[in-house]
Amino acid sequence: MDDLTGPQITRFLEEHIREMRATTPPESKHALDLDALRGPDITFWSVMEGGTVVGCGALKRLDADHAEVKSMRTLAARKRSGIASLILGHIIGEAQRMGFTRLSLETGSAEFFAPARKLYEKFGFTYCEPFADYRPDPLSVFLTRTLPGRAG
């Protein structure tokens, strides 16, 4: 887990927000800024390699059974190296451990986001209607998957 206080993660996330602003109009941008990621309903992880942040991802609690994948990002120089799969696999495992039975996410519909959509599909996410506070948006797609239920 990352407490989001280090300068490396701050720079990494600022670049994420800049990239999202460059590829998505403001009304369709759902990336969380640093302050929002520090909220009590968010758990955030980063992957460090030699003192450099190479990837990150977060889990946002929506209710007792449903959580959202947020802030998935891989350093440009490390794309297609397995970092995103490592992070997403970790998030799914942690969501199961925390007792969530459904995991959902929003990502872009543009070609820029095609690798992300392919990753989510590979991990068993399927397309769905908007969830939580999201509204239909031609620039967004929504995906979800169920997780094994709580034991007991």
The percent helix, strand, coil of the chain (3-state, each to 5) is 35, 30, 35
Highest mean pLDDT among 26-30, 33-37, 114-118: 114-118
Q: Who has greater pLDDT, 27 or 110?
A: 110
Q: Is the pLDDT of residue 28 over 70?
A: yes
Name the burial class of residue 134, with classes exposed (0-12), middle (13-18) and buried (19+) by CB atoms within 10 angstroms of its CB.
middle
Q: Who has greater pLDDT, 87 or 29?
A: 87
Sheet holding 102-108, edge to edge: 42-49, 52-61, 66-74, 102-108, 140-146, 126-128
Q: Is the pLDDT of residue 97 over 50?
A: yes
Q: Is the pLDDT of residue 152 over 90?
A: no
Q: Is the pLDDT of residue 109 over 80?
A: yes
> How many Å apart are CA 12 and CA 6, to the nearest integer?
10
Contact 55, 75 (CB under 8 A): yes
Q: Who has greater pLDDT, 76 or 41?
A: 41
Domain ranges in the chain are 7-146
Instruction: Tell whether domain 7-146 is in CATH 3.40.630.30.
Output: yes
- Give the list of residues 6+ apart from residue 3 with CB closer than 8 angstroms, or none: none
Mean pLDDT of the chain: 89
Q: Who has greater pLDDT, 59 or 4?
A: 59
Q: Who has greater pLDDT, 6 or 143?
A: 143
> How many Å apart are CA 73 and CA 14, to the nearest integer?
11
When pLDDT is cut at 50, 70 and 90, the band that residue 150 belongs to is: low
Q: Record the pTM.
A: 0.89
> How many Å apart are CA 25 and CA 79, to the nearest integer?
24
